[in-house]
Chain A
């Protein structure tokens, strides 16, 4: 089955710095790669996603890049703010009736004011 590795497990940055979280996956048939943000005491919520026919996607301060050859994808947050502090999860899945996503173990991002 699919295996998703996520690094780092903890990331501490100063407000205004950039943050990068990286994930690798094992199943070359995976074609959907979402990123979720989980704030304390809440359920995860999608912040950005990318499909295998796209190499990069941006939404304001957040971007995701995908390298299908190397089987890795990354989340980039620029100009970090204290409200970006949360746990971030990556996931990978494939369609065709087998859409059961595999999650990474999560990255705790701490943004210091």
Chain B
């Protein structure tokens, strides 16, 4: 199993550009999550999904969108990138009531 994979690993965006962060898991997990982690800070939940076709907002959803058309994929879309979205983004997956498996992260800089 590859676990949770994220692409790209690094990205630099200009203000106002848009991009999609990709996340795929091969563990057949129902739950998937997107977090952002600012330097020296904890994990903030952006969006989550409890199954294909179902998504919900987390703590900091503004400026982001997600979709969950399949069990495996949970892409995160940034529209009109802003410097405040400079962060490291982690995708995670889990089965209900069990540990989360995290991807390696995407380091995003918005200039």
Contacts and interface: CB of A to CB of B under 8 A. Distances in A.
Q: Is the interface of A mostly helix, strand, loop or mixed?
A: loop
Contacts of A103: 42-43
Given A99-B94, A103-B43, A43 B105 contact: yes
B13 interface: no
Interface of B: 4, 31, 33, 41-43, 45, 48, 50, 58, 90, 92, 94, 96-100, 102-105
A95 B31 CA distance: 12
A78 to B, nearest CB: 22
A101 B44 CA distance: 11
A100 interface: yes
B93 to A, nearest CB: 11
Interface string A38-60: 00011111100100000000000
Given A43-B105, A97-B50, A100-B48, A34 B41 contact: no
Contact of B96 (A41, A42, A97, A105): A97
Interface of A: 32, 34, 36, 41-46, 49, 89, 93, 95, 97, 99-101, 103-106
B48 A43 contact: no
Nearest to A47: B99
Contacts of B96: 95, 97, 99
Which 7 A-B residue pairs are closest in the complex by CB-CB distance?
Answer: A43-B102, A105-B42, A95-B97, A46-B99, A106-B42, A99-B96, A103-B43
A103 B37 CA distance: 12
Nearest to B3: A43
6 contacts: A45-B102, A46-B100, A89-B42, A97-B96, A100-B48, A103-B43
B41 to A, nearest CB: 7
B3 to A, nearest CB: 10
B76 to A, nearest CB: 15
Contacts of B58: 100
Contacts of A32: 97-98
A111 to B, nearest CB: 19
